[in-house]
Chains A and B, each alone.
Chain A
Amino acid sequence: MHETAHHSAVSDALVALACGPLDATSTAAVDAARTRVAEARAQASGNSAVATQLAALLQSQGSTAGDQRVRAWTLGATLASVGAGNATPDVPVLAAVVTIGDAIGSSETDMAEAAAVGIEAAARVLAAVDSSEFRARWNVASAIGILGATLAAARLHRLDATRARHALGVAATQAAGLAHNVSHAVGALETGKAAADAIEAALIAKHGFTSAPASIDGRRGFAALMAYRFDPQAIVEGIGSRWVSAS
């Protein structure tokens, strides 16, 4: 009954990108991410209507205004509702990075690197699964964005590779959001929620939570269930030395 794979080149590649040092090839991607983090943070301090309503609502759970899940969800929904229906997987990454970075006092460079890594990971996973069938069923910004956001969160929390792999697994198993909602207001909520879920995934993994080693490419994993084509090479090949998100 347990046919879970114990090894995954895809997980290894994504986790190595998230946890390892970045070399000179990353400069353009990190610089671009630095700008985008600053833009996202400007949105976080703004007072959009969706932000105010969502924050008040989620705080009714009894959480404080500083609750990172609430802040990330709110910021992600705000970012996603700019240019409705055109949100990308970058949105949850940026929302998670700004929220976590501000909460734990990450340096500007650490936040830029984490965002670059998350955006790159999401771009590569999307390239591996993208098709009209995929986009006809799922909200791409939330379903893919949670993976990049979780790897970015793992980097900010300086998780080791094992914990980052577990965090990725917790994220993959809840990749969600429906295509039918993308043009509705709920679509922005789905995309913001991916940032909140990424924060949770990284934190519980930090404290010892475990998940599937091959959460993306396993027989019952993310690609098998949600994708209609899967090209693992699009994730693995040249990762960390060729930046598909900055070309």
Chain B
Amino acid sequence: MSSPVSSPVSSPTSSVAEAFARGLHALAQQPLPADVAKEAQRSLINVIGTSIGASRHPGVDAILAAARELGVAQRAPVPGRKERVDAHFSALATGFAGHLDDFDDTHLATVIHPAASTLAVVTALAPETKPSGRAALTAFALGCEAQLRVGVSISPEHYDRGWHITGTCGVIGCATTAALLLGLTEAQLAQAVAIAASMFVGHREAFGTMTKPYHPGKAASNGIAAARLAQAGQQAAADIFEAQGGYSHSMSTRVDFEQMNGALGERWELLFNTYKPYPCGIVAHPAIDAGLAIAPRIGAVEEIESITLRCHPLVPELMGNPQPKDGLQARFSAIHGVAAALCDKRVGLAQYDDGRVVRDDVRRVRALTTLAPDPSVNRDEVFILAKLRGGASVEHHVEHARGSLARPLTDDELTEKVRLLIDPTLGDGAAARLAAAVESIDGARSLDALFALCAPQEEPNHA
């Protein structure tokens, strides 16, 4: 069926799915470029952190309870949990947890969070397929790349209409990762992505409920099913992307297949993945940076008389809640993020706990804080001015927020983020051990040691 190819871009004689599979399969046969491998490792440790950080959530409990009720096999792990379930529920739970707090990664051009669903496929299939570290990282990187490319080919119309692109495109990347782990041929990979194209999942109506992070979880389990069907010889329509009544034209009013198949191996969308330093909407991040920057220069928060943030107008528009009443509302309050930064000198999941959000100290600082929108300020920029008792004042200018493309999280900052997510669940030092395992993944003979580090020593009482 397949013939040697000189160029992995689309050709007039093959369908979009076939050209896509040819390019991806060819890339899987060679080492990842160093910068791509590095970004894949950063994406991987980041999402291992978010998935373990959320592993005790009631939504994970619900998924695992459903699996128990169905009596599924106990084969595959769920990071942060001791239970084992079948590949389907392992993928569902892992993808859910990875994206739960919206604290994972973001490809800014598409708003896809690619790593949660892709990690979920690797987690679910590792016990069965036993990939080397290098093969697993390659399958992970290409699964992220595949879904991001499908995403850019239908953006921004697809997301703007209301689809949750992380699930609708994620499923195609997940089929790619699963197919590579299962050792499928190029022709089978083409079938896998074509089958996966009809298993799209995710409406934005579900935002604010557990169903939002269900989307990457289900994308992962669907992607695995699609790859297994292809492995078993299931045939799908080769023209499923370009046909009327197929994927792309049903999901978007504008389609650009050059974005999907063009320059595969030269243009890497994965290199534009970013990592959130704080578990809230990205437009508030410069303000939180500013709060953290001046916090050490202010003795006690009782000294504060007023805080003014000169910021991009989207900050009050999207994140303008002045006095949130719970953790979910606080995620849409830039002022809370600044107040928490000043009071606690750190902003992680703990600063968005319902109980933390309503305490007197942050309420007081929030009441003293004003957002001053200014169209001349960039989206990743902010100016903060704190006036203190006795007439002193403290100022700071954040030119580019941490985690933006212009100012990516450093490896140390990423490690610290992951530490705050993992160590409270798995114990001191767990994050450092996992970070080391991801750093040396290229030479690992299997993922057994990595997933052993993701498991708790003792199962907490979560019944």
A contact set with B: CB distance below 8 Å? 1-2, 4, 53, 56-58, 60-64, 66-69, 136-139, 166, 169-170, 172-174, 176-181, 184-186, 189-190, 193, 200, 203-212, 214-215, 218-222, 224-225
Contact = CB atoms under 8 A, between A and B. Distances in A.
Given A173-B206, A178-B246, A208 B58 contact: yes
Given A4-B206, A181-B240, 8 more contacts: A62-B73, A69-B88, A169-B209, A178-B198, A193-B199, A207-B63, A207-B65, A209-B62
Contacts of B2: none
Contacts of A189: 195, 229, 234
B75 A219 contact: no
B163 A225 contact: yes
Contact of A210 (B209, B225, B332): B209
B205 A208 contact: no
A44 to B, nearest CB: 17
Interface stretch (B131-139, B149-157, B210-218): B210-218
B87 A58 contact: no
Contact of A136 (B202, B244, B281): B244
B267 interface: no
B71 interface: yes
A203 B72 CA distance: 13
A214 B76 CA distance: 34
- Chain B, interface residues (CB within 8 Å), range: 35 or more
Interface in B223-261: 224-225, 228-229, 232, 234-237, 239-240, 243-247, 249-250
B232 to A, nearest CB: 5
A138 B62 contact: no
A203 B87 contact: no
A224 B163 CA distance: 10
Given A139-B198, A178-B198, A221 B205 contact: yes
Interface in B185-205: 195, 197-205
Given A170-B211, A180-B246, A220 B65 contact: no
Contact of A204 (B62, B88, B162, B246): B62
A49 B151 CA distance: 37
A62 B210 contact: no
Contacts of A218: 205
Given A1-B207, A181-B237, A66 B71 contact: yes
B204 to A, nearest CB: 4
B250 A138 contact: yes
